[in-house]
Every structure is written in structure tokens, then in C-alpha cells.
Amino acid sequence: MSLLDVRNLYVRYAMRRGEAVSALEDINFVVEPGEFLTIVGPSGCGKSTLLKVLGGLVTPTSGEASFKRTRVNRPRREMGFVFQSTVLLPWRTVLENALLPVEVLNLDRKTYTERAKDLLALVGLSDFSNRYPGELSGGMQQRAAIVRTLVPDPEVLLMDEPFGALDAMSRETMNVETMRICLETKKTVVFVTHSIPEAVFLGDRVMVMTPRPGKIAEVLSIRFARPRDLDVMGNSVFASAVTRIRSHFNVKHTVD
């Protein structure tokens, strides 16, 4: 049984002058349990909108997304979001930020404080749990945000360009980290990015999207075993996958 199922999904936005802009057209795909699906495409291809539909933050115009055969029509605890802007609350320490979902969901504080501390250790932030987000580097902030998402133990992680604001080197480190964390915690992941190498490096499958309107151009299976290290990027199979994905954008659109 697939975990996520998207069928005939359309999202249109009404504009000011009455005309509608089509953000997503005829989207169909499934995500299997434990899978790491990356979605890659240029700005405006509707990939973030698609993620918000999966997370119940955006209601589709027609068609539907379902989670375990139940229609997604509101946010639910089983889905955890990681946003590009970390959205850490600057008045809370790292640990307090990680416990925000515990407070919102009224979970047992004691049990989950232990869990949060374990997770902070997993991402190497143990020594920073009592610091404020403003004192952390961009990469550390994003790791703290990932811990916050993991604390209530969601089944699916929806990651919206989480490393888009990081420099290239932190970004590669975070990719390796993300793969390790997601394997260790056995999460199903849908990961949106506009970096083709990032998509190929992380994904079991890469879903390529083209813009205006947002459509699926191709879905590629990436057959390297996970966990992977950065060396696979030098592999010719890796390079040909990247080239193939890029061809979708060079024909009609430029990647921005």
C-alpha cells in the first residue's frame, strides 16, 4: 500500500482581475513507505504548492491527495514540515523550539523532552540546546528546525527547499546529514529543491517538474544504495541523471 497517493490534482489561484492562474495541472504520483522522493524544478513550477497540498495547508481545486487512503484536507500530526526559512522562534531556546510541537499537541512534556534531547544529540546540537537561534549558524538553525519536526515523530517529512539559504559547502554536509537522519529514524520523505544535484543525491526517485502550468515532466529512479556519500556525485551514472534532468529545463525554460 502506498503511503501517499496523489490523483488528478489541479490547483488554480484566482488573480485580482478575475483570471485564474494554474499552479498545478494533472499531477499523479504515489510515495511508498520509507521512500525518499525528491521533487526538482525551477521557481514557479508549483513544487512548494504541491508540498503544501500534501501537508494539508493548501486545498486543491480538484483531484486529491490522500494519506493512507484518507483524503488530506487539513494538517495532521503524521506529516511534519521543514520550511526553507527555519521559522525558529527567536524568543525560545533551541530545546524550547524543539518542544513547540509538544506544547501544541499537548503531549507528555517529560517523555518528549528526553526525545528532543536525543534528537538534538543525533544532529550534533547537544551543546546548543540552551542557546537562542540567533546565536546559531544557518546550518545549525536548519538542523534545529529538523529536530523540531522530528520530535512528535511524524511518518512523513515534507521538506520545502530546506537548505536553499545555505552556502554550497554547508549544503552538501546537510544533504549527507539529512540522508543519515532520515534513514536512522526511518522516515518517508518528500523533498522539494531547485538544485538538480541535490535532488539526484538524495532521492530514491526524482520527480522533475516544469512550470506554467506546473506539470510532472518525468520521474527518474536513482539506483544508488542509500546511505550515499558525496563521492557518488563523481559517478558517471550520477552525471548522466543530472544531464538528463537538466535537458527538461534547457529546452523550454532556464533554471533560475
Partner 1 sequence: MARQRLRFALPAVLAIVVLAAWQLGIHAFDVPRFLVATPLDIAHGLVDGFVHGTLLRDTAVTLEEIVLGFAVGASIGIILGILVAWSPLLDQTLTPYIIALNGFPKVAIAPLIVVLLGQGLTSKIVITALVSFFPLVVNVTSGLNSIRTDQLDLMRSLTASRWQLFTKVQLYMALPQVFAGLRIAIVLAPIGAIVGEFVGSHEGLGYAIQVAIVLVRPGDEFAIFVILTTISLSLFQVVKLIEAKVVFWHSVGGQVTSA
Decide: helix, strand or coil at residue 110.
helix
Please name which of 169, 170, 159, 168 lies closest in space to residue 136, comparing C-alpha atoms.
Answer: 170
Shortest distance, position 247 Cβ to partner 1, whole Å: 28
Q: Considering beta carbons, is residue 104 or 237 the nearer one to partner 1? A: 104
Shortest distance, position 221 Cβ to partner 1, whole Å: 29
Cell 527538461 found at:
248
Name the packing angle between helices 138-150 and 168-184 (round to 10°): 20
Q: Considering beta carbons, is residue 31 or 206 the nearer one to partner 1? A: 31
Shortest distance, position 18 Cβ to partner 1, whole Å: 24
Q: What are phi and psi of 44, to 5 degrees?
A: 85, 5
Shortest distance, position 163 Cβ to partner 1, whole Å: 11
Shortest distance, position 98 Cβ to partner 1, whole Å: 12
- Residue ranges in contact with partner 1 by CB under 8 A: 52, 55-57, 74-77, 79-81, 83-91, 100-101, 103-105, 132-136, 138, 141, 152, 164-165
Q: Considering beta carbons, is residue 139 or 197 the nearer one to partner 1? A: 139
Q: Considering beta carbons, is residue 76 or 253 the nearer one to partner 1? A: 76
Contact 163, 170 (CB under 8 A): yes
Shortest distance, position 132 Cβ to partner 1, whole Å: 5
- State the cell numbers at 85: 526559512
Q: Considering beta carbons, is residue 52 or 228 the nearer one to partner 1? A: 52
* 19 burial level (CB within 10 Å; 0-12, 13-18, 19+): exposed
Question: For residues 86-121, b (16+ Cβ closer than 10 Å) or e, as one string?
Answer: bebeeeebbbbbbbbbbeeeebeeeebbebbbebbe
Q: Considering beta carbons, is residue 99 or 209 the nearer one to partner 1? A: 99
CA 164 from centre of chain: 11
